[in-house]
């Protein structure tokens, strides 16, 4: 094993040593029940987890539990010993997968998933961002000189207006910052999930090292998966030279500075946050930011916020549960008289982006609200236009302009792939035919 792999194993071994075997982590696991595992088996499953960590083979039921994990972190919250059980399970799943499949197959699986993601991100970003902005984001992290790095991750570039909003907000704080992201700075999630650890070290581990090489004192993350992975698989392995934290927490810590720039004549809004627990204090931070916006009333509705740490991703295995969460929140928000659903993360924004085609309610990201309160923002949400399935003239005109700027061409096969990528995700949407037809016409026109 590599030195990095040894340090991961040390984290898992320390967790097993501290574990008392009470089983409370398994009892509260939201996905264990989804796959038919009984809460009464809690102590047995945890004993098997400890045994796997110490070198035994995984039992079939333990593998079922590990595979079911959607990263909710309810396990960690329930542990009386303060063990980061989510981290422990993540490392244990890596070990079980390594033992169950040949390394070559793990590498093939990881490469396929990464390539699929990278192609979709490249096309969607090229359809929505000018070339100079993309070049700025994709430039190597280690060549930056700013004190603060805003790290976007990869997938938020499908909904890049969010990135532009955050840049506007950081500009308002007059920070010395730069923005970095894209697939060249991936957190390595696909490699880790598929137990291709050597490639993970060349991608995710290397990305984290590049942050340190930039000399930045602070790295602000956006993506919840990147935040989780870098916090639990890098920061806990070896303390970095920079502070790491989600941008929402940073903005909440600087709320008074932001508030001083808010303009009072904001539109009246009654909003509901689509909540996800599991990533630090993001829910509390976003709620605090929204409460500070003039004329905004934040409604508190019961939610299934502990099921997963974000929409999609590893939670995409539970499409019916996710779909029920999305419908339930939209219907409850309308019934409560809300006029806006505010999303926390980009995957959640993609899930709710088409809600306006189904319900009488508007969907925005929290960064849209904060940027607007600062008199900034206003960046078109083209992804929402795709997902609502209405008139596509504005989205197509922008895509034609940006694709030409980025030197990227799309063909009808790409459009079919993008249509599936956008509309097969769990979430609320309008007519997929509107997007497919409009962009197929664009591809034929060249």
pLDDT tens string 272-298: 999 999 999 999 999 999 999 999 999
Q: Average pLDDT for residues 313-321, to the nearest whole number?
A: 94
Closest of 164, 341, 374, 327 to residue 269, by C-alpha: 341
How many CB atoms sit inside 10 A of residue 112's CB? 12
β-bridge mates for residue 250, sequence order = none
Phi and psi angles of residue 171, each rounded to the nearest 5 degrees, phi first: -60, -40
Please determine, for residue 1, whether its predicted confidence score (pLDDT) is greater than 90.
Answer: no
**Calpha distance 299→276 (Å, rounded):** 16
Q: What is the pTM of this model?
A: 0.96
For the sheet with 243-246, list strands across it: 177-180, 148-151, 218-221, 243-246
Phi and psi angles of residue 179, each rounded to the nearest 5 degrees, phi first: -115, 135
Q: Are the CB atoms for 137 and 168 separated by under 8 Å?
A: no
Closest of 375, 368, 317, 314 to residue 343, by C-alpha: 368
Helix (H, G, I), strand (E, B) or coil at 219: strand
Instruction: List, in order, residues 6 or more apart from 105 with CB less than 8 Å away.
Output: none
pLDDT in tens, 44-89: 999 999 999 999 999 999 999 999 999 999 999 999 999 999 999 9
**pLDDT averaged over every residue in the chain:** 97
pLDDT in tens, 231-253: 999 999 989 999 999 999 999 99
Helix (H, G, I), strand (E, B) or coil at 25: helix
Q: What is the pLDDT of residue 446?
A: 73
Among residues of the chain, what percentage have pLDDT more than 70? Answer: 100
Q: What is the DSSP string of 222-263?
A: --HHHHHHHIIIIITTS--SSEEEEHHHHHHHTHHHHHTT--
pLDDT in tens, 109-140: 999 999 999 999 999 999 999 999 999 999 99
Phi and psi angles of residue 419, each rounded to the nearest 5 degrees, phi first: -60, -45
* Element containing residue 270 per DSSP (H, E): strand 269-274
Phi and psi angles of residue 299, each rounded to the nearest 5 degrees, phi first: -90, 140
Among residues of the chain, what percentage have pLDDT more than 90? Answer: 99
Q: What is the pLDDT of residue 190?
A: 97
Helix (H, G, I), strand (E, B) or coil at 174: coil
Cα four-point dihedral sign 19, 35, 108, 119: negative
**Calpha distance 195→105 (Å, rounded):** 10
Q: Give strand ranges (E) for 102-237.
A: 148-151, 177-180, 218-221
């Amino acid at each position: 094993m590599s030195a990095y792999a040894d340090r991961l194993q040390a984290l898992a071994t320390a967790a097993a040593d501290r574990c008392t075997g009470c089983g409370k982590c398994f009892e509260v696991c939201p996905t264990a029940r989804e796959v038919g595992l009984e809460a009464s088996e809690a102590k047995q499953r945890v004993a098997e987890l400890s045994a796997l960590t110490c070198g035994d083979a995984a039992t079939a039921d333990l593998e079922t539990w590990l595979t079911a994990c959607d990263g909710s972190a309810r396990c960690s919250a329930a542990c009386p010993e303060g063990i980061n059980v989510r981290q422990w399970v993540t490392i244990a799943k890596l070990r079980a997968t390594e033992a169950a499949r040949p390394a070559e197959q793990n590498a093939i699986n990881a490469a396929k998933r990464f390539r699929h993601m990278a192609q979709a991100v490249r096309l969607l970003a090229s359809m929505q961002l000018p070339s100079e902005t993309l070049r700025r984001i994709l430039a190597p992290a280690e060549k930056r000189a700013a004190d603060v790095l805003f790290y976007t991750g990869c997938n938020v570039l499908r909904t890049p207006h969010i990135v532009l909003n955050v840049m506007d907000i950081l500009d308002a704080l007059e920070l010395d910052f730069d923005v970095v992201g894209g697939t060249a700075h991936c957190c390595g999630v696909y490699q880790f999930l598929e137990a291709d650890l050597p490639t993970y070290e060349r991608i995710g581990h290397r990305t984290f090292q590049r942050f340190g090489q930039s000399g930045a004192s602070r790295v602000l993350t956006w993506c919840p998966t990147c935040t989780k992975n870098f916090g639990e698989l890098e920061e806990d392995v070896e303390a970095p030279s920079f502070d790491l934290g989600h941008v929402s927490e940073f903005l909440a810590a600087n709320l008074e500075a932001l508030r001083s720039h808010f303009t009072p004549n904001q539109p009246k809004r009654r909003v509901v946050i689509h909540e996800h627990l599991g990533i630090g204090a993001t829910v509390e931070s976003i709620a605090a930011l929204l409460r500070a916006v003039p004329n905004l009333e934040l409604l508190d509705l019961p939610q299934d916020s502990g099921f997963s740490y974000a929409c999609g991703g590893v939670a995409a295995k539970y499409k019916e549960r996710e779909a029920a969460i999305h419908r339930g929140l939209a219907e409850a928000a309308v019934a409560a008289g809300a006029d806006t659903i505010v999303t926390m993360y980009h995957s959640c924004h993609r899930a709710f982006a088409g809600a306006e085609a189904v319900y009488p309610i508007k969907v925005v990201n929290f960064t849209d609200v904060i940027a607007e309160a600062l008199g900034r923002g206003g960046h078109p949400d083209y992804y929402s236009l795709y997902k609502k399935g209405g008139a596509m003239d504005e989205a197509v005109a922008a895509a034609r302009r940006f694709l030409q700027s980025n030197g990227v061409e799309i063909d009808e096969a790409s459009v079919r792939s993008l249509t599936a990528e956008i509309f097969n995700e769990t979430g609320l949407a309008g007519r997929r035919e509107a997007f497919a037809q409009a962009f197929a016409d664009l591809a034929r026109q060249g």
